[in-house]
Structure 1
């Protein structure tokens, strides 16, 4: 189970990245709202904190988090609840069946064999008398039967040629490309907005860098001071804000593969 100090350290790192607050301000008694979180970022902070410690914080647990200490206590409580309880139960072996006397078993087998032989002789005699009477009644004095064990002559057959089929060529399928969306295409300076999307085929935990470009097509992409990670099978979501006005292009790049999403334009002001 993680210690409160390790949870506090990771929570400080997450808050600095997400809301750009000072690390020394993240003390146990500090209110998360005063550090810069809102209803959207508190969900992102809770999910990222749970991912780092291998637990899943419920919506109710995240909604009840008010201070830094509340977030630490929520992770400790969920880690304790997720620990499996192992109980070993001893199973008693069933008693062996009682042994039967060897003499009784041999006597029973002998009785079965004698009964079988007796009924076999009776049935054989009845069938023999009945067959003789049938032959006598029909006047058949000789019956020619085919020899036992004869092998029938096989009839030669010509196999039909199998039709040759040409497999249909498989239609190529394009690999899915990264996607990006924004919660708003126009915001006021300093107003927060979301970037979300997906990197199909990427592994959870891969680092993603938000990039920004100002100006025309010849301008270069610069790193925006926000990083996030791939999670839940390839998706990402992060919140950012900027006070610089004008049209700004944003994209997200996977640092492990170098693959980038298409660019999306957000007008500031």
Structure 2
């Protein structure tokens, strides 16, 4: 069973890194919300605290955390809760997220769909050949194939037209792509940060207006773009601004994706560590 002092020490380290509060402000009677936590960061704090002491803090327990002492007692007097078989929580950014694992069931269904498409194509081709052969046989059976149609004769005199009768073609309007439409922009407040240090990402989706849903994506060397566990929305004029942090070190690329139009900003690189 961990001591209150060791839990207090670890909780202080977590809160300083997550919400950026002063270490001397993390006293037992301090209110967690007054220290800067919100509904997202209190969950991240509880999960990181439980990970460090190898305990699981249930959702009901997290909902009762009001002060620093409440969080300390939740670990010291742990009620024995165990995590569910499949957790629906978003992983905290203090943890190093594992690379995405391909869902075998999804792959199996996709391959089954591809086989069904090929089967439908082959059936369609076979049905078309049968109908073509049957139509030809029907024409021969009814004798329609032997009907002689009268030849088409050329007119004896070709109609003449004066030059004045020739209609003048009307000018057609041509459209050119709007090359002046501004492209999405993005920039970061810092190009190098420490693990767990917050930094700001901001920019503009011109034409997106207000309220467009944006997904932050991250890409590490040798991997594809993956969804970062943070979303935001555009403000007036398509502008966006949000803060994120991560403990995974190395050069990491970030961008924002408009979930409705699949339009993405250019990528920016931030060195972590």
Give TM-score, length-normalised by structure 2.
Answer: 0.38
Structure whose alpha-carbon radius of gyration is higher? 1
